[in-house]
Amino acid sequence: MIKKELTSLNISPIERGTSTGEQWFSAGEILVSTSPVDGNDIGHVCASSREDYERVLNIAFEAKRSWADIPAPRRGEIVRQFGEKLRARKSELGKLVSYEMGKSYQEGLGEVQEMIDICDFAVGQSRQLYGFTMHSERPAHRMYEQYHPLGIVGIISAFNFPVAVWAWNAALALVCGNVIIWKGSEKTPVCTIACQKILAEVLADNELPEGISSICTGGADLGRWMAADPRIDLVSATGSTRMGKEVATMVAARLGKSLLELGGNNAIIVTAHADLKLTVSAAVFGAVGTAGQRCTSTRRLIVHKDIYNKVRAALVDAYTQLKIGNPLESQNHVGPLIDHQAVESYLAALKEIEDEGGHLLTEGGIIQGEGYGSKCYVKPVIAEVANHYRIVQKETFAPILYLIRYEGSLENAVTIQNSVAQGLSSAIMTTNLHEAEYFLSHKGSDCGIANVNIGTSGAEIGGAFGGEKETGGGRESGSDAWKVYMRRQTNTINYSGTMPLAQGITFNL
């Protein structure tokens, strides 16, 4: 279905999944990338062996010093050129993202646009890797802080955003003077290869050495190699909370640095003062966009009893209008889940909802028939539940929206929202200024992202992205997230000709 795009992106039917730039090699097992859109194979990728991984690390280790020696604005120029390459290939890469992952073509284009946006941000940041100057208590001394590159940044990304989250990390890590090693999801390996080839073109055009940007392909074992490897100065991992805990434990055991973007169990609070039209629009897109496979997908809708029935009726009506099918066709709102394992998780969640006493307001199940041959298409579901249900406390990567009624004050709704282990994204729908400000106060949402009158899904490049609690506490993308990719150093310069000590201490020799 996307042969033209694959050719344009220089993707062959059989690809090597290990690269340090222009060099490509692999000696591991063969992975088959199968599209959830139609069940057809996209390509075969030879995964990385342990020997391949060691070769990548050795080359990256050699490259890190020469890359760090290049002035930061010049590194920014390389990232700018990468952004221009992405602009030229936005359509092809966006379609590949859609076809290999299963999100709509518009969402695929949006994901590539995020890559372009973070490149633009990083270019400006390359001239703003600022430190601070402070006054010393000792005469004729100057104190300041500065930031240096870490060295090697390992990036582990997930299938649901197969290119954008890597770019968030890569663009900033590169302008900060680090080299990068990327383990893309084994479920979307062709997207990983396509991105590496585009960036490798830029590096080769500028006669830069191998190892500035590398990829390895594989499963959980590869992630464990990276987490345990003391040569990797920072491991940035995006995925499930279970995976993140394993990565964090292994990195901490060697006193390394980790940046974790993990699970979400995101809620929208709908108060009695909410705008119903805004509420339904935000909730539906948040719940069914990317077939509910975003870390910021809306999982829970916490609705005040006074408007509960209106919201419920409007949501059920909206769900009858959803079109489910091939995400490359623009009339469809919902595409497939990533694979059959995801479908099984969805079906298990539906059973658990009913076992715990929940009520399905819309019919669930797998969609059969012509055009759904991959058997990865499922019906989006609205379920009336109580927040304490075990299934509601979990994150199910599927289009399941939990409808929860609350009574009394906004404090009650916030308590319900915050009583889950995850803390990524949250929102409140209200036209009441007091409610909005309370939600954003220290007494309100405990999430890393808190929105008013927009949904939980989606984020702008300019702000730091990330969450609290079992979401991992990391921050990526905008604001001052660049600092995590650098090491902080405090400097004191004595130009007095004497040796005064701090705190007035004297030490006479």
Q: Is the pTM of this model over 0.85?
A: yes
pLDDT at 502: 76
Residue 423: phi and psi, rounded to 5, are -150, 55
Helix (H, G, I), strand (E, B) or coil at 350: helix
Residues 6+ apart with CB under 8 A from 37: 1, 98, 99, 102, 326, 327, 328, 335, 336, 374
Q: Would strands 464-465 and 476-477 be described as parallel, antiparallel, or unpaired?
A: antiparallel
What separation in angstroms does the CA of 484 have from each of 75, 82, 177?
Answer: 18, 22, 12
pLDDT digits (tens, 9 = 90+) for 367-419: 999 999 899 999 999 999 999 999 999 999 999 999 999 999 999 999 999 99
Query: Can you tell me the distance from the alpha carbon of 162 to that of 149, in angstroms, rounded to the nearest whole number?
Result: 26
The tokens describing 29, both together, are: 């097992």
Query: Do 181 and 61 share a structural domain?
Result: yes
Do 65 and 79 lie in one domain? The reply is yes
Residue 131 near residue 160 (C-beta atoms within 8 A): no
- Kindly report the backbone phi and psi dihedral angles of residue 28, in degrees, each rounded to the nearest multiple of 5, phi listed first: -95, -170
User: 312: domain range?
Assistant: 266-452
202 and 310 share one domain = no
Are 188 and 236 part of one and the same domain? yes
CA distances (Å), 15 to each of 112, 154, 212, 377, in order?
A: 22, 22, 20, 28
Report yes or no on 170 lying in a domain.
yes
Q: Rounded mean pLDDT of 435-456?
A: 98
Residue whose tokens read 């500065």: 146
Instruction: Please indicate, yes or no, whether residues 251 and 276 belong to a single structural domain of this protein.
Output: no
CA angle in degrees (0–180, nearest 5) for 16-18-21: 105
Q: At residue 45, what is the residue type?
A: V
Per-residue model confidence (pLDDT) at position 201: 98
Closest alpha carbon to 75 in 466, 465, 488, 486: 486
- Together in a domain, 154 and 98: yes
Q: Tell me how far apart the alpha carbons of residues 201 and 207 are, in angstroms, rounded to a whole number.
A: 10
Q: What is the tens place of the pLDDT at every residue in 461-497?
A: 999 999 999 999 999 999 999 999 999 999 999 999 9
- pLDDT, one tens digit per residue, over 290-310 is 999 999 999 999 999 999 999
Q: Give the residue carrying structure tokens 């409140």.
A: 428
Co-location of 318 and 384 in the same domain: yes
- Look up residue 256 and give its two tokens: 């390394």
Whose tokens are 């050129």? That residue is 81
499 pLDDT higher than 70 = yes
Alpha-carbon gap, residue 274 to 193, rounded angstroms? 45
Structural domain includes residue 300: yes
Of the chain, the end-to-end C-alpha distance in Å amounts to 81
Cα(245)–Cα(228) distance, integer angstroms: 13
Residue 311 token pair:
């919201």
Task: Among 70-74, 135-139, 276-280, 443-447, name the one with the lowest average pLDDT.
Answer: 135-139
- Residue 509's pLDDT is 64
Rounded to whole angstroms, how far apart are CA atoms 447 and 210?
40
Question: Region 89-100: what's the mean pLDDT?
Answer: 98
Contact call for residues 174 and 166 (beta carbons, < 8 A): no
Assign 491 to helix, strand or coil: strand
Q: Is the dihedral angle over the CA atoms 214, 218, 223, 228 positive or is it negative? A: negative
Q: For residue 495, what are its two tokens?
A: 């130009």
Considering the domain boundaries, does residue 509 fall inside one? no
Count of domains for the chain? 2
Residues composing the chain: 509
261 is catalytic: yes
Other Cβ atoms within 10 Å of 198 Cβ, number: 19
**Residue 304 pairs with which residues in a beta bridge?**
406
- Catalytic option among 261, 395, 470, 476: 261
Are residues 88 and 237 both part of a single domain?
yes
Q: What is the pLDDT of residue 500?
A: 81
Whether residue 457 lies inside any domain: the answer is no
In a domain? residue 333: yes
Measured CA to CA, the distance from residue 391 to residue 350 in angstroms comes to 9
CATH number of the domain that 326 lies in? Answer: 3.40.309.10
The percent of residues in the chain predicted with pLDDT above 70, rounded, is: 99
Residue 391 covered by a domain = yes
Kindly state whether residue 238 falls inside one of the protein's structural domains: yes
| pLDDT at site 506 | 76
| Residue-wise pLDDT tens digits, 38-94 | 999 999 999 999 999 999 999 999 999 999 999 999 999 999 999 999 999 999 999
| Helical ranges in 9-71 per DSSP H | 50-69
CB atoms closer than 10 angstroms to residue 294 = 23
Judgement on whether residues 433 and 476 belong to the same structural domain of the protein: no
| C-alpha to C-alpha distance for 260 and 244, rounded to whole angstroms | 6
Claim to verify: residue 395 and residue 407 sit in the same structural domain: yes
Q: Which of 88-97, 186-195, 491-500 has the lowest mean pLDDT?
A: 491-500
Beta-bridge partner residues of 61: none
Phi and psi at 285, nearest 5°, equal -65, -45
CB 403 within 8 A of CB 361: yes
CATH of the domain at 237: 3.40.605.10
By three-state DSSP, how is residue 365 classified? coil
Structure tokens at 474: 């990391």
Residue 257 shares a structural domain with residue 270: no
Side-chain half-sphere of 156: how many Cα atoms within 13 Å?
28
174 shares its domain with 61: yes
Average pLDDT over residues 268-274: 98
Alpha carbons 213 and 424: distance in angstroms, whole number: 29
- CA distances, 344 to each of 58, 106, 186, 396, 501 (Å): 41, 27, 19, 11, 67
Residue 356 included in any domain: yes
